[in-house]
Each structure stands twice: as C-alpha cells, then as structure tokens.
Structure 1
Amino acid sequence: MLAALHGADAAFDAAISEDPDFALAHIGRARVHQLNMEGAEARAEATRARQLAAAASPRERQHVDIMASVIESQAKKAMTAAEQHLAEYPRDAQVLSLLLGAFGLYAFSGRPDHDAARLAVCEQYAGDYGEDWWFLTYLGWSKTEAGDVVSGRAITERGYALKPDNAGAAHAVAHALFEQGDAAEGRAFLTNWLPANDRTSFLQGHLAWHLALIALEEGDADGAMDIYERHIKPAGRPYPPLNIYTDTASLLWRMSLAGKTGLESHWRDVAAYGDGYFPKAGAHFADVHQALVAATTNAGALQARLAEMEARQADGKLAPGPSAIGLCRGIAAFAAGDHADAVRILAPLMPDLVRIGGSHAQRELWEDTFIVACLRAGQGHQAASLISERLHRRPSRRDLAWSQQAAQQ
C-alpha cells in the first residue's frame, strides 16, 4: 500500500485468513476498500476492526480508531487523533501516511497552509525514519510542494534509489521534474518507468497523466490525446476512482484549452463514470472536477451540484468553503463563453486555489482557465503577473505563447 502498488487487498485478505481476529489486517483491508470507492465494504471492515481492537494494545486501538474515522468521514477527528498518536508512535507509517500526499487529510482540510503542514510533520519525524524508502519519498515531495524543489528532488531521488519499483517515489520524482520545468528529463523518466512497471501500480494512470501534461506544455495536444487513449480514459482501468475521474476530467479540459476538438465522446464517457462513483456532492475535489464535466456536457447537472455544495457549506461540511463553489461558477461562465464573467469570478480566487487540495500540478488547471479567459476577454493584463510568475518558476512553450498574447493586448 505504501508503495502504491497493486496487491494490498490480497495481502490483507491473506492476513485475515491466517488470523481472523487481527484488527489491523481488517482496518488495512477497509482502507483499500475505501480507496476503491467500495464504501459499504470499507465501513463493514472498519466496524469489525473496531470490535476486534477492543482487546488489542493501546497503539493498535488508536491506529484502528484513526483509520476508521477516515473511512467514516470524520476527517477533523482523524487528523487531530493522528497528530496525537504520532507523538507517541512516530513510526506508525500507515497513520502518518493519512496526513500526507495530494489527497491526504492535510491537503483536503481546506486550510491554506497544508503544504507547510505536511513538510512540518515530515521534518518533525525525520529522525525516527532515517533512510527509509517510503519516508524519504514523502519528505522530498513535501519539500517540493512547499517550494523547495531542489532539495525536494534530491531527497525524493534518494528514496527512489532505495526502491525503484516504488510508484509513490516515481510519482514524487515526476512532480519535482514538473516543478523544475525539465520537460525533456520528465518525459525520459516517465517513458522508461511506465512500461517497466506496467500495471503493477495503481498510480500508473496518474503517472501517464503527468506524461500527457508534458506533451501539452510543449504544444503537442495530439500526443497528449494518444496518451489519454492508451493509458488514462476510464474504461477498464484498475486505479482508484478519484484518480481516474480527476485525471480524465482535468486532462480533457486542458486539451480543450489547448484547442483540441472532437472530445465530445470522451466527455460523455467521463460523465457516465462520474455519475457512477460521484453522483452527489461530498468529496469536494471530485466536485470541482465534476464542474468541468458538467459544464461541458450538462449545465443542469452543474447547477444541481452547486446547490448541493452550497447546502454543505451552510452545514459547515465543505472544507474549502466558498472558494470551491466560486471555482465551479467560474468554470460555468467560461464554458458558456462569457469569458469576462469568468475573469471576474476567478480573479479573486487565484490566491485561494490551495484550499481545494491536490498537488500544485493539479491546481494549475484553474490558473490555466483564468489565463485563457483573460486572453479571450481581451484582458491579458489581468493575467500578466501570474504568467510572469509561472515563467520565472518553470518556463514552458505554452506559457511563453500566453505571455506574448498578453503583451499584445
């Protein structure tokens, strides 16, 4: 599970078969069910784990309670309990892993400092892990996402060298190369790693998504489409549904921004997939991606989702608050061709993008949309500072073209 490889489900099943009363095997299996959006099975295993943990050690009881709280959608309780648990049991890596990553408790908390929080908790326990392949992956990636890309890449590559078949490390290396703007090295790394580890990892499709992003930044929309067709589109993919849905929706949207046409059948496929796994508001990162799909295929579905999100916000259950709703409204205006209104809605939200979680690479989609809206509305000056910052951080052919368009306006 920590290496993002397939097989954790079978391993936990085998552990349960050997010892049906082993609480931690049940809660581990519950977590795999949750990642695969098998909610009923996840909750049933979590309940069983809680029952069995009553006779277990304090560490095991706390471990089960924290993991079960995540499965039961008690994210705030789980986050606080995990921080307390780690102070006593810092090498409980499964618990620490819940806080980390682009989809972790910190990232999806709605707080604007989640990048710093991930780095702080990793640095707090660095002495407890030393040269551990899993820990180095996440310490390095946390540094990368917090802006220290050079150090982050070096640490991540140390973890990768210890276990090259670790998909988590390959993913973190891909992020470091993306943030450094090294398209050639990023392409070389991923085109070597993906076939060598074909179908061993549940991050395989997402790593292909990273490869497609490189193609788009280099102006190769056809190449990105080919990668999408072969490795990313929903049909028959053995990856977590949240990855599949957000990767497909975001890549199709980015290809549309790049001028790619003829995507209607793909949008319909993604809409059907989302209707199956994310039919109602709840997971805000899925909701903001549902806005991309619905704005393209069914405006009425977007308005219905917005109403659900507003109800959750009123109940205090929408972690990013109004910023997530605003992003969806900006997407709706953009898709309707009202680019000036999209600029008006999205401009004040750019500093708040971090609240929706995910990685910086994933959140750039909304920056891209804002920039294109500015250019199409003849308001290139509105996006000039954002484009300049991106060029300073990691120049790409796409951003250079946008900079020239903005300057002409």
Structure 2
Amino acid sequence: MARFDNYELSLSTASDEAAALYRDGIAFMLAAWPGAAENLDAAIEADPDFALAHAARARLHAMRAQPSEARARIAIAQDKATATLSEREASHVEVLALAINGKSQDALKAALAHVERWPRDTLVLSLPLGAFGLFAFSGMAEHNQAKVDLCERHAAHFADDDWWFLTYRGWALAENGEVAHGRAMLERAIELRRHNANCAHALAHAMFEAGANREAEALIAQWLPDYDRSGILHGHIAWHAALAALERGDVDTALAIYDGTVRHSVSLGTPINIVSDAASLLWRLQAYGHAVPEGLWEDAADYARRVFPKPGHAFVDPHIALLEAATGDSAALGRRIAALDELVANGAIGAGAIVPAIGRAALAFAEGDNAGCAHILEPMTMDFARIGGSNAQREVIEDTLLVALMRAGEAQKARALLDRRLHRRPSPRDTRWLTELAA
C-alpha cells in the first residue's frame, strides 16, 4: 500500500506509523513550531531505512545551526537512498544535501529544477524562500522579486486555504512592496493555523512594511506567550516588538524586551538571529541618540566572535562589524575588512564589495566621520539587499547612511532619502526626522 506526505507525494516507507510521524514532523518544521525533531526521530525509529525522514532531520539540524549533525544525517539519508527510492525522493535528498553541504548556488539551481517537476514538494520549495533562504543569500540584489516570481509561478498547485503556501507567498509579496495583498494572505494563514511561527513572524514583517507598529506590538504581545521559548523564532519575533517600540521612541520597552528575550543569554534562537538582532537593535539605539547601557555592546560582541570565529558570511559579517565598531575594536574590524576584501576578490562572497564596505562605513560612523561614512554608503544603496535578510533587518544600514547625512549637514540628500523611504513605507520616526530637517 502506497504512503503519502501532506501533499499526496508518495513516500518510500513500509510503515504507516513512520509516514504519519513524518507528515507531522514536516508540518511542525514548516511552521517553525516545537515538535518537529521529536516526530522525525520517532519516524526514523519506526523505519530506520526511511531516507526522507533522515533528510528532513538533517534539514532541521541545519536550521538549528548544527552543521556537523546536519552533514552526518544527510549522509545517512544519501546512504539510505537505494534504487527503490522514487525519482522525486532521490532528487529531494540530493537538493537538501547540496544545501546542507554549503553548495548554495548549486542547491538553488537544483531546487528550482526540482520544483518545476514537483512543485508541491514543500520542503524543497521552502529552500529558496524566506529572509535566510537560498535566494536571499545568493548575492542578488533583486531576491525579493525572485521570491515573488517563484511563488506566483507555482501558486496554481496550492489550494486557497494552504496555510504554508499562504505564509510564504504573503511574506514574499509584502517584502516586495505589495504590502496590503501580502498581509491579507498572512492574516488568512494565521487564521488557518495559529501555531505557525513563520506566519506570525512574516505578519510582523508585513506590519513593519505598512508602518503599523502598534499593531505589530499587539500581535506579538497576544501571540508570543503561546510559543515556547525553545521555538527557533521566539527571540527574533520578540526583536520585532522591540524594533516597533523603538520606532515610536519607547526606549525602555525596547531595552526590556532585549534584556528579557532577545540577548544571547536568554534566547534559544539560532546564532545568526541572535547576533544580527543584537547588533542592529543596539546600533539603532545609539544612532537615534539614545544611550546603550553599559556592558551590552561588549557582551554582544564577545558572543558574536565566539559563534562566528571566521569571516565569510555576507549577512553576519556586517553585523559583527557594527559590534566591533561600537566597542572601539578598530584592530579587529580592520582584520575583518581585510579578510573580507580578499574573499570578495576571490569570488568567495557573492554579495561582493558591499560586505567590507559596510565595515568601513561602520568604523567611520563610530569615529564621528559622518561625511566619510556617507561617502562609502551613498553610492552603494542599490547593493544593500545583496547581503540577504529582510527589509527590516537591512534598514539599519540605510539608517546609518541617513543619520550620517544629517550629521554631516547634507540636508538635501537626507530629505531625498527620507522621501524615498516614506514613499515605500510610512514611518513615524522618518516623519519626525523630515519635520526636523524642514525646520
């Protein structure tokens, strides 16, 4: 008797129990909800030869920033991928293997080819999507559009009430400027499955894009208590609430959220989120003219260096550069910039020169050289997106440019940038700045 996944794709397992546990595990994984590991481990126990269960467990290890465990598990999946495996399942395992083994460009190409044949293979379709997906970390500037195009290309294969597809299609649209359309999809998705952290996260992004900060804070305050702290996005969703509080000038609330939920000593999230959330929130605080409490910079910088000891990540390195600049460690930042220059020259960082440039700009900004900071960043505004992440995460770079322009007396340029930003999304802070510049 044939067994199937949640999208009627056949599974090569002789165990009904393993298939059911796999279906639940994948659903939890796609919702970023606790329980995926336990269900997939149980599926493997029920059928130790179930290749896709091993592959999914490898993907989960990768999502949890456990690379050695992920590589070991995907090797088991490949070993279990015998001749009895279907063509779709064999391709599924190999796409995940490419991604887990760091062959990102090959993984992206293979994932796109795979979903052309099997568009409802959601675990593979999920790989290019999201703020940290293969498109975002491809080095391309137009990855938001690429995500929309991918979702629209395959939308006909998903029902109107598919909570997972609504989540990622809605998020892609909202990030790409179709905020109302995307937000409507996300609100529908969270109605269909409330226990969906990816959707709550995406909805916070859509509200950010709409300038609906109070609504974002209310959403997170109402939703987050039901999400266990072990959830991979718990601390990061709280960061969105801190960002919204800071946007309206409530520094005490932003710092309380940071101290209680976001910083590395309390968060159970992944290092990439913990480092980037800390760096961007603290940098914004200081750039907006607020004091960062003693010890927070050093604490965040020490953690970042410990979990990312070597340069080479287009999204992480700019955030560590902010920390090194803020702590006055110009020697460490100089070494990082030199290493990044070499990696860029060797083609090892697809995002290119923007990565070390952010480090140089951060150092200039921290040392009070606002004109120098603006001189570095202003010609590269179209390249900011190349580092990956989301609009909300990358806005810290544009904020740095904007504050540098204002402090350097470049009022006309600052007004032009603010006008463009307000055209893209309403922002109480930007409106205040524009009013101050007009005075």
TM range (shorter): over 0.9
1:101 equivalent in alignment to 2:130: yes
C-alpha distance in 2, partners of 1:394/1:117?
A: 21
What runs of 5+ residues in structure 2 fail to find an aligned partner? 1-28
Q: What is the aligned partner in structure 2 of residue 299 from structure 1?
A: 330
C-alpha distance in 1, partners of 2:238/2:138?
A: 27
1:341 equivalent in alignment to 2:369: no
C-alpha distance in 1, partners of 2:82/2:312?
A: 31
Pick aligned residue for 2:232 from 202, 218, 221: 202
C-alpha distance in 2, partners of 1:299/1:374?
A: 22
Tell me the SS of whatever aligns to 1:284.
coil
Counterpart residue type for residue 6 of structure 1: P
Deviation, structure 1 residue 282: 2.4
Question: Mapping of 1:357-396 within 5 angstroms?
Answer: 357-396=388-427
Higher helix share: 1
1:403 equivalent in alignment to 2:434: yes
1:316 equivalent in alignment to 2:347: yes
CA contact (8 A) 1:219 1:397 kept: no
CA contact (8 A) 2:216 2:244 kept: yes
C-alpha distance in 2, partners of 1:244/1:165?
A: 22
Counterpart residue type for residue 100 of structure 2: I
Q: What is the aligned partner in structure 1 of residue 280 from structure 2?
A: 250
What TM-score, normalized to structure 1? Answer: 0.96
Deviation, structure 1 residue 200: 5.8
Question: Mapping of 1:317-332 within 5 angstroms?
Answer: 317-332=348-363
Between 1:11-20 and 1:227-236, the stretch displaced more is: 11-20
Tell me the SS of whatever aligns to 2:295.
helix
Deviation, structure 1 residue 242: 0.9
What runs of 5+ residues in structure 1 fail to find an aligned partner? none
What TM-score, normalized to structure 2? Answer: 0.90
Question: Mapping of 1:61-76 within 5 angstroms?
Answer: 61-76=90-105
C-alpha distance in 1, partners of 2:66/2:152?
A: 34
C-alpha distance in 2, partners of 1:44/1:137?
A: 31
Q: What is the aligned partner in structure 2 of residue 48 from structure 1?
A: 76
* Root mean square deviation, CA, Å: 1.4
C-alpha distance in 2, partners of 1:311/1:27?
A: 35
Per-residue displacement from partner, 1:361-401 (whole Å, max 9, x unpaired)? Answer: 11110111111111111112222111112223333332122
Deviation, structure 1 residue 196: 3.0
Between 1:166-175 and 1:383-392, the stretch displaced more is: 383-392
Deviation, structure 1 residue 115: 0.8
Counterpart residue type for residue 278 of structure 1: F
Pick aligned residue for 2:194 from 149, 164, 177: 164
C-alpha distance in 1, partners of 2:291/2:110?
A: 48
Deviation, structure 1 residue 198: 4.0
Deviation, structure 1 residue 10: 2.2
Identical residues among aligned pairs (%): 47
1:189 equivalent in alignment to 2:219: yes
CA contact (8 A) 2:271 2:307 kept: yes
Per-residue displacement from partner, 1:293-321 (whole Å, max 9, x unpaired)? Answer: 11122222211211221222122110110
C-alpha distance in 1, partners of 2:66/2:424?
A: 40
Deviation, structure 1 residue 81: 0.5
Deviation, structure 1 residue 11: 2.1
C-alpha distance in 1, partners of 2:79/2:56?
A: 15
Q: What is the aligned partner in structure 2 of residue 129 from structure 1?
A: 158
Q: What is the aligned partner in structure 1 of residue 317 from structure 2?
A: 287
CA contact (8 A) 1:252 1:263 kept: no
Q: What is the aligned partner in structure 1 of residue 179 from structure 2?
A: 149
C-alpha distance in 1, partners of 2:150/2:427?
A: 33
C-alpha distance in 1, partners of 2:205/2:266?
A: 26
CA contact (8 A) 2:314 2:388 kept: no
CA contact (8 A) 1:23 1:53 kept: yes
Deviation, structure 1 residue 106: 0.4
Per-residue displacement from partner, 1:122-150 (whole Å, max 9, x unpaired)? Answer: 01111111121001001111111111111
CA contact (8 A) 2:57 2:73 kept: yes
